[in-house]
Amino acid sequence: MKPVTIPFFISHHGCPHRCVFCDQRAISGSSGALPTAEQIYGKIDLWRSTAGDRPLEIAFFGGTFTALPEEIQAGLLAPLQPFLDERTLDSVRISTRPDCIDAERVAWLSERGVRTIELGVQSMDDTVLAASGRGHSAVDSLAAIRCIKEYGLMVGAQLMPGLPGDTPISSLASLEQVISVGADFIRIYPTVVLQGTELAWRYEAGEFIPLSLERGVALCKILLQRSMRAGTPVIRIGLQADHGLNAESVLAGCWHPALGQLVRSQLYADLISHVVPPGRLVTVYCHPARLSDVVGINRTNLQSQLERGVQMLIVPDATLQKEELKVHTEESSITCSIIKDINYSIHEV
């Protein structure tokens, strides 16, 4: 059963660098003040009252958890220990930088209930990392993933396509490298230009051209499909929209409040266009959880198929896998998959 994640945002705390793209307070909508023990207790009590039978997980997002002084890390984790002992909490998740991970840190965290560590990898291209002010290398990311895996913890890799100097080819290479070294899951955050960042200054000076929404979706659908083929879950695409991240704080870049759905919808649209000739009347069956993706935001997939002369009836079918469609016409019925039956070229982005 998927746990309910109780988030605490510690924006910028512990960060040894200010990356050119970063404004954690805008991204999280939080001032980033470290929570007190009383605030931690209160939030756990509130969330467990509505979680039902689902397990609970505490997550410290933003900032660089393992770069905080050890006494501060201990102060954040200590209030959780009674809840972990009594099984009210199932686990703890933290976010950090690849160059702030080593065997001693991972062992210490594991002893205190941390079961998942997310790494801000961003890119596996050292030129891109340097241009973005990251202050670490791709080798650091590989070493950190291996170290976390050796201690039996889950490790996630956050990637940012579209950073300065990045290309679709290097974005795909970054994805493939973190998968090959053992990342358990991936977040894909296409680069956006936020007010008040160095990247905003570069953008306004004409020194940086961000990914458009259209190109970002075209790239992300390939990254998502490659991850699915490898069996590595992509747990999020795009920054979460809230009161801190909106049309006013985002100057440019690949941002949409439902970017993940846009990307998944495009995969299904491409699959339907691939298997259904123009001018047909078809019934398309899909897993119930993917019904809105197949229809498309504001019914865009239905409309785009109408422009090809294709009329579609979309029917939920729980016997199908989430990545599958069954397409029925008067002449035939076929089952196809967004993983197996579309072949993209990264050079097309």
Q: What is the CATH number for 24? A: 3.20.20.70
Q: Which domain holds residue 283?
A: 269-348
CA dist 81 and 84 (Å) reads 5
334 assigned to some structural domain: yes
Determine the angle formed by the axes of helices 259-275 and 213-230, rounding to 10 degrees: 80
343 assigned to some structural domain: yes
Please give the pLDDT value at position 243. 55
264 assigned to some structural domain: no
Same domain, 51 and 192: yes
Strand partners, 336: 325
262 assigned to some structural domain: no
Same domain, 231 and 151: yes
Taking the CA atoms of 158, 161, 164 and 166 in sequence, report the sign of the dihedral they define: positive
CA dist 205 and 252 (Å) reads 13
Same domain, 236 and 288: no
Instruction: Specify the 3-state DSSP secondary structure of 183.
Output: coil
CA dist 199 and 19 (Å) reads 9
The CATH number for 279's domain is 3.40.30
Please give the pLDDT value at position 21. 85
Please give the pLDDT value at position 249. 84
CA dist 180 and 177 (Å) reads 5
Tokens 């197996």, residue? 340
CA dist 155 and 147 (Å) reads 10
Please give the pLDDT value at position 328. 94
Same domain, 92 and 199: yes
Query: Closest Cα partner for 285 from 273, 270, 268?
Result: 268
Tokens 């020194």, residue? 207
Please give the pLDDT value at position 29. 47
Cα 41 from chain centroid? 28
How many other C-beta atoms can be found within 10 angstroms of the C-beta atom of residue 83? 20
Taking the CA atoms of 138, 22, 346 and 165 in sequence, report the sign of the dihedral they define: negative
Same domain, 140 and 8: yes
Q: How many structural domains compose the chain?
A: 2
Out of 204, 226, 257, a domain closes at 257
Same domain, 172 and 282: no
Per-residue pLDDT of the chain (349 residues), as tens digits, is 788 999 998 877 867 767 888 875 555 445 567 899 999 999 999 998 888 889 999 999 988 999 999 999 999 999 999 999 999 899 999 999 999 999 999 999 999 999 999 999 999 999 999 999 999 999 999 999 999 999 999 999 999 999 999 999 999 999 999 999 999 999 999 999 998 899 999 999 999 999 999 999 999 999 999 999 999 999 999 988 765 677 778 999 999 999 999 999 999 999 999 999 999 999 999 999 999 999 999 999 999 999 999 999 999 999 999 999 999 988 889 999 999 999 999 999 8
DSSP secondary structure, 90-123, as one string: -EEEEEE-GGG--HHHHHHHHHTTEEEEEEEEE-
Question: Which residues, at least 6 apart from 128, have a Cβ–Cβ distance to it below 8 Å?
Answer: 122, 163, 164, 165, 166, 170
Query: Closest Cα partner for 284 from 312, 320, 253?
Result: 312
Which tokens go with 93? 């998740």
Enter the pTM of the model. 0.93
How close are the terminal C-alpha atoms of the chain, in Å? 37
Out of 223, 257, 291, a domain closes at 257
Determine the angle formed by the axes of helices 138-150 and 168-181, rounding to 10 degrees: 30
Please give the pLDDT value at position 92. 97
Same domain, 91 and 216: yes
